[in-house]
A and B are shown apart, each in its own frame.
Chain A
């Protein structure tokens, strides 16, 4: 994974990065030198330590502050809601014309459409749209090819038991 990040950087891709986002620890949290359980522990951060979030790697998040930097377990963090409502801006909201707050003007003008509770209850079925959507469905073979292109390897993993 470290190699993948290095490769990404080499190719000019950013790995999963949310520069500018902040979070705080929700429980005592070990700060590690690397994103591994057996990596060296630098220090233990008390709850409510504010950190800047740099990147995520599986269950680990890279963080820094004025006095330290390292890796912590992702789920020991709660992200702060910032003005953007987000861990920085990934550019997709602008691309899809998603308003940062509230509903877009197009939703307002069409009025009756939308996914609110009331709108869902009163939705008029649109079977033609479902028919249109069908043309994007892909075959097993196409899905397998695309996974292969991404170097995804199917694994055998049992479902988690869960506590119920």
Chain B
């Protein structure tokens, strides 16, 4: 029986790769088998400190692309709102850190381990603290569910991840293997996450905002505003490219939120505090 199966397997290989399958002359078969074994055995389960190490590197890259907005009161405000939201989640003890990027692009990012950034371009499209909370909670959800880490696992070389998982990589910022992983990680932001991860972050984000005592419709309100922006404007190009269509996200949220937040409908949106904190002194 077993021999038959091998013969069938060889037959399949033979038909698929007629030229290469039996040409063992050019490769060291033992070495190849070793490598396969190593990759199979490689432990790429990243623990929390390792996740934070990788996230630090990626966050540093994002800050290399766009600097922090030089406005301490605004930075502190966003950290207060964001940190409160994280206390409503299953990972309240990560070293959560929030930042506003001095960039006109309309976008927000998070990195493994608890780093969340929002551009001033996106902040300027908002109308209340509940809207800010909705966007931060969406980003927080990516960290909670380790969406970026999963995307990196799909794209980075397994042995690099195994080195990180086995603490073979030193977190002194100079290890070239960490640099490579961070680089692979940063590319995820140019490519975008799986669409299902974005929908999941929307779905979780509205709940986390509601848990924080906010009007849960802040996130859909922001998405609705973004839908009205000119899609050909360069400031929305990356956000539009890396996310599902806003109409789809809104339609999914509409269905999933319908009837689910009757108790939370009357929670405050803290619009006055939002404008005050941002120094706008609106009306």
Which A residues are closer than 8 A to B by beta carbons? 1, 4, 8, 11-18, 56, 58-59, 74-75, 77-82, 85-87, 90-93, 95-96, 98-99, 101-104, 107, 113-121, 123-127, 129-130, 132-134, 136-140, 142-144, 146-147, 150-160, 162-164
- Choose from A16, A124, A130, A140 the contact partner of B269 (Cβ within 8 Å): A16
Interface bits B54-72 vs A (CB < 8 Å: 1, else 0): 0011011111111111001
B279 at the interface (CB under 8 A from A): yes
User: CB distance B60 to A129 under 8 Å?
Assistant: yes
Most chain B CB neighbours (cut-off 10 Å) among A74, A77, A103, A152: A152
Q: Determine the interface band of chain B, counting residues with CB < 8 A from chain A.
A: 35 or more
Assess the A56–B280 pair: CB atoms within 8 A. Answer: no
Is the Cβ of A85 less than 8 Å from the Cβ of B186?
A: no
Interface residues of B (CB under 8 A from A): 56-57, 59-69, 72, 75-76, 79-81, 83-84, 86-88, 92, 95-99, 101, 103-105, 107, 115, 119-121, 123-129, 173, 182, 186-187, 189-190, 196, 199-200, 203-204, 206-207, 210-217, 220-221, 224-225, 227-230, 233-235, 237-238, 241, 247, 250-254, 256-257, 260-261, 263-273, 275, 278-280, 282-283
B79 touches A138 (CB 8 A): yes
CB distance from A149 to the nearest CB of B (A): 8
Q: If the complex has contacts A58-B266, A96-B120, A154-B212, are A123 and B62 also in contact, measured as CB distance less than 8 A?
A: yes
* Complex alpha-carbon distance, A3 and B121, angstroms: 32
Q: Report the tally of A-B residue pairs with Cβ distances under 8 A.
A: 289
B269 and A74 within 8 A (CB):
no
Give the contacting residue for A81; candidates B196, B229, B237; CB below 8 A. B229
Give every chain B residue within 8 A of A129 (Cβ-Cβ).
Answer: 60, 63-64, 67-68
Tell me the bound Cα distance from A139 to B76 in angstroms. 11
